[in-house]
């Protein structure tokens, strides 16, 4: 749509290079930071790339602090949370998978009825979901903390899963509803003429057709849940129920942890969602725009 | 649909005899929505109401242990509104939001136009990479930028030194004058892909004929953008403005990782205020709820605007 003169093309290339550099800059930083030693980072504070690289940061995290390697040889203190990497990773995975499953299950039941059976109250439910999406987590956390505390449900994974499912369900419905709406009513009607109940028509006719939307919604739910910090941070304080973001947050302000180790654990924590985004980009793009602009 | 109706009535009649009564559409819709209604009420509506309840009661650790919350009326709100730190936090939040949202809207439109250039190979490359920041956990993003900004060991200063741009290290996030702007950059970096994707989707929905018509009329690129593209992007820009404003108002992770509110109170924001008041000694849950409730009210207004402006077609 713009003129394709040589100067215009050159300007476009320059603009693209700038954007790409901006996107990659923090990723280069986390990578470069994670493969060098504390000594190298501290010895020369002006050097961009160190003289030698090491994988010791990853080794010490992945061996639960047992294999200290050369750079941690003399270190007597390692934060306990670093040693709980596998537990935290597993907890994050359990929470994210459960939340994805539950939001998809309940979200699709709800979004389907909102899209296909228009009652006044289902439309109101849709509007409630739009408003609910805006509720900031910090407002929910204070009452949820008090309730979970009085129920003795602090420090459980199920508490986190329930809270996150409730928090994300409205968003899942906003993503799914426009998709169900785009499926022709005739399909459902045909199935019902053949003797299907409404539920069977939904499960065996509509759902199989909706796999792209379920994939889009599911991957977004997984990513948000994998990233969620405030809910598990406030509900879970014991190391055995911490999720990865909570472990990472616990390193903030720990004077004994230096950037190399922090960057290594950040890199390990961001890897799963980066892989997901790389593989399922198309679905995420569709889901994000469906959840925001389609009514 | 009216044509099929009689047949359907027959089919339904037969089925009733064969398989017993099928539930009515109304009951079916209700049962399908039971889990959602439960979650909405228990995890969203009720906590918000309970936060309102807590905000007019005295709730500290001692009261939590006893399980009795004495009623105090508007006292918590009074104390929050009299706290200069609250107003600093609110002011910082407004500045933070204004900077991030306006920058994001401008950048999103520019970058969306850029990746929409199908004939340019670098644009295709950008389009492939554009979603990457969406994959980064906010807390990890914060720590990565803490490393970038570090006064002594930071990656940004190393780049400046290597390029020979400066002799003295820059204290990006440690200087009260620049700290608030320093935390806007990581936030923009992480949330920009969402805005770009929305604008890009809207751009692809603009019919080519409109541009061809404008080109026939002799409109140059800039005029075409101003008179054809921009008016058609107005709805999606409204969406981004409201959504991003509401979410930037509750920014938390990047503040926690990079500055923890510092230096001094330079980067205290609303969510950080509620968090610190509530979850660090002396643990004033009542005041924390009051401040969080004020934040929720402001965001609630944005939600209603969004509902009226964007989802007015919510009748589907």
DSSP-assigned states of every residue in B2-18? TTTHHHHHHHHHHHHHH
- Mean pLDDT throughout A218-238? 94
A108 CA to centre of own chain: 20
- What residues in A contact B26, CB-CB < 8 Å? 119
Residues above pLDDT 90, as percent of chain B: 55
For B176-202, what is each residue's pLDDT tens digit? 989 999 999 999 999 999 999 999 999
Put simply, the answer to whether A230 touches B162 (Cβ < 8 Å) is no
The predicted pLDDT at position B149 comes to 93
Cα(A288)–Cα(B211) distance, rounded to whole angstroms? 27
Q: Flag whether residue B280 sits within 8 Å of chain A, measured between CB atoms.
A: no
Put simply, the answer to whether A1 touches B285 (Cβ < 8 Å) is no
Put simply, the answer to whether B169 touches A45 (Cβ < 8 Å) is yes
3-class DSSP state of B71: strand
Residue B176 gets which letter from DSSP?
Answer: T
CA-nearest residue of chain B to A2? B221
For residue A86, CA distances in Å to A32, A65, A121, A265, B42 come to: 23, 11, 45, 11, 32
Q: A219 or B209, which is more confident?
A: A219
CA-nearest residue of chain A to B304? A131
Residue B68 gets which letter from DSSP?
Answer: -
Query: In angstroms, how far apart are the furthest CA atoms of chain B?
Result: 89
Put simply, the answer to whether B137 touches A113 (Cβ < 8 Å) is no
The predicted pLDDT at position B9 comes to 46
Cα(B251)–Cα(B273) distance, rounded to whole angstroms? 11
CA-nearest residue of chain A to B63? A146
Put simply, the answer to whether B153 touches A146 (Cβ < 8 Å) is no
The predicted pLDDT at position B3 comes to 39
Domains of chain B with CATH codes = 83-310 (1.10.3720.10)
**Mean pLDDT score of chain B, rounded to an integer?**
87
For B212-239, what is each residue's pLDDT tens digit? 888 788 777 788 888 888 888 988 998 8
The predicted pLDDT at position B17 comes to 43
DSSP string, B19-63: H-PPPPHHHHHHHHHHHHHHHIIIIIIHHHHHHHHHHTB---HHH
- What residues in A contact B150, CB-CB < 8 Å? 259
What topology does CATH give the domain A84-293? MetI-like fold (1.10.3720)
CA atoms within 13 A on the CB side of A41: 27
For B283-305, what is each residue's pLDDT tens digit? 899 999 999 999 999 999 998 88
- What residues in A contact B260, CB-CB < 8 Å? 252-253
What is the distance in angstroms between the Cα of B219 and the nearest Cα belonging to chain A?
11
pLDDT over threshold 50, residue B11: no
> Tokens 């980067």 map to which residue?
B267
- Going B37 to B39 to B42 to B46, the CA torsion angle's sign is negative
- Mean pLDDT throughout B101-126? 93
The predicted pLDDT at position A4 comes to 62
The predicted pLDDT at position A117 comes to 84
pLDDT over threshold 70, residue B45: yes
The predicted pLDDT at position A57 comes to 85
The predicted pLDDT at position A24 comes to 96
The predicted pLDDT at position B16 comes to 46
CATH 1.10.3720.10 residue spans of chain A: 84-293
pLDDT over threshold 80, residue A65: no
The H-or-E segment that residue B72 falls in is none
The predicted pLDDT at position B166 comes to 81
pLDDT over threshold 60, residue B252: yes
pLDDT over threshold 60, residue B4: no
CA-nearest residue of chain A to B20? A197
For A142-197, what is each residue's pLDDT tens digit? 999 988 888 888 999 999 999 999 999 999 999 999 999 888 888 888 888 888 88
Put simply, the answer to whether B111 touches A19 (Cβ < 8 Å) is yes
The predicted pLDDT at position B316 comes to 40
Residues above pLDDT 70, as percent of chain B: 91
Q: B134 or B162, which is more confident?
A: B134
- What residues in A contact B106, CB-CB < 8 Å? none
Q: Is the ipTM of this complex over 0.85?
A: yes
Q: CB pairs under 8 A, 24+ apart, for B33-37?
A: B33/A109, B33/A110, B33/A113, B33/A122, B33/A125, B35/A105, B35/A106, B35/A109, B35/A110, B36/A106, B36/A107, B36/A109, B36/A110, B36/A125, B36/A169, B36/A173, B37/A125
The predicted pLDDT at position B315 comes to 43
Q: A202 or A274, which is more confident?
A: A274
- Mean pLDDT throughout B133-139? 96
The predicted pLDDT at position B312 comes to 60
Burial class (CB in 10 A: 0-12, 13-18, 19+), A108: buried
Given pLDDT bands bounded at 50, 70 and 90, which one contains residue A60?
Answer: confident
Q: Which residues contact B276 (CB under 8 A, 6 or more apart)?
A: B261
Closest C-alpha among A114, A264, A276, A88 to residue A181: A114
């Amino acid at each position: 749509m713009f003129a394709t003169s040589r100067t215009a093309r050159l300007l476009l290339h320059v603009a693209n290079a700038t954007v790409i550099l901006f996107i990659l800059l923090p990723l280069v930083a986390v990578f470069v930071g994670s493969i060098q030693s504390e000594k190298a980072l501290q010895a020369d504070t002006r050097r961009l790339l160190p003289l030698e690289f090491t994988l010791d940061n990853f080794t010490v995290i992945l061996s639960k602090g047992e294999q200290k390697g050369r750079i941690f040889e003399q270190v007597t203190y390692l934060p306990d949370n670093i040693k709980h990497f596998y537990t935290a990773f597993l907890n994050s995975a359990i929470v994210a998978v459960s939340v994805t499953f539950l939001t998809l299950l309940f979200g699709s039941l709800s979004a389907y009825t909102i899209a296909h059976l228009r009652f006044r109250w289902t439309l109101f439910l849709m509007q409630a979901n739009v408003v609910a999406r805006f509720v900031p987590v910090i407002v929910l956390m204070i009452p949820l903390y008090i309730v979970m505390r009085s129920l003795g449900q602090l420090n459980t994974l199920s508490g986190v899963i329930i809270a996150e499912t409730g928090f994300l369900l409205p968003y899942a419905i906003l993503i799914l509803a426009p998709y169900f709406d785009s499926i022709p009513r005739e399909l459902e009607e045909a199935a019902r003429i053949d003797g299907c109940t409404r539920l069977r028509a939904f499960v065996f006719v509509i759902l199989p057709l909706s796999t792209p939307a379920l994939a889009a919604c599911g991957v977004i739910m997984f990513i948000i849940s994998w990233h969620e910090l405030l809910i598990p941070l406030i509900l879970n304080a014991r190391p055995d129920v911490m999720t990865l973001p909570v472990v990472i947050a616990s390193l903030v302000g720990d004077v004994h942890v230096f950037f190399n180790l922090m960057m290594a654990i950040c890199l390990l924590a961001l890897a799963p969602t980066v892989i997901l985004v790389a593989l399922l980009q198309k679905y995420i793009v569709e889901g994000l725009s469906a959840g925001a602009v389609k009514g | 649909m009216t044509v099929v109706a009689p047949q359907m009535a027959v089919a339904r009649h037969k089925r009733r005899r064969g398989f017993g009564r099928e539930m009515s559409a109304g009951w079916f819709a209700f049962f399908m929505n039971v889990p959602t209604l439960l979650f909405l009420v228990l995890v969203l509506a009720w906590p918000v109401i309970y936060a309102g309840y807590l905000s007019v009661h005295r709730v500290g650790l001692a009261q939590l242990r006893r399980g009795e919350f004495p009623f105090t009326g508007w006292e918590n709100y009074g104390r929050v509104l009299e706290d200069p730190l609250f107003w600093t936090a609110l002011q910082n939040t407004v500045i933070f939001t204004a900077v991030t949202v306006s920058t994001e809207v401008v950048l999103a439109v520019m970058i969306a136009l850029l990746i929409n250039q199908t004939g340019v190979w670098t644009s295709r490359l950008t389009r492939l990479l554009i979603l990457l920041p969406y994959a980064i956990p906010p807390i990890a993003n914060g720590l990565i930028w803490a490393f970038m900004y570090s006064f002594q060991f930071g990656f940004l200063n190393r780049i400046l030194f290597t390029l020979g741009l400066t002799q003295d290290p820059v204290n990006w996030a440690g200087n009260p004058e620049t700290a608030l702007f320093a935390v806007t950059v990581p936030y923009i970096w992480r949330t920009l892909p969402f805005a770009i994707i929305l604008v890009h989707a809207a751009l692809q929905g603009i019919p080519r004929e409109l541009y061809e018509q404008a080109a026939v009329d002799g409109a140059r690129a800039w005029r075409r953008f101003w008179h054809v593209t921009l008016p058609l992007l107005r709805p999606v820009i409204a969406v981004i403005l409201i959504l991003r404003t509401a979410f930037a108002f509750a920014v938390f992770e990047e503040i926690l990782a990079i500055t923890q509110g510092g230096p001094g109170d330079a980067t205290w924001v609303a969510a950080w205020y509620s968090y610190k008041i509530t979850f660090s000694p002396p643990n004033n849950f009542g005041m924390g709820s009051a401040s969080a409730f004020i934040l929720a009210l402001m965001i609630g207004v944005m939600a209603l605007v969004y509902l009226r402006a964007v989802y007015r077609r919510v009748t589907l």
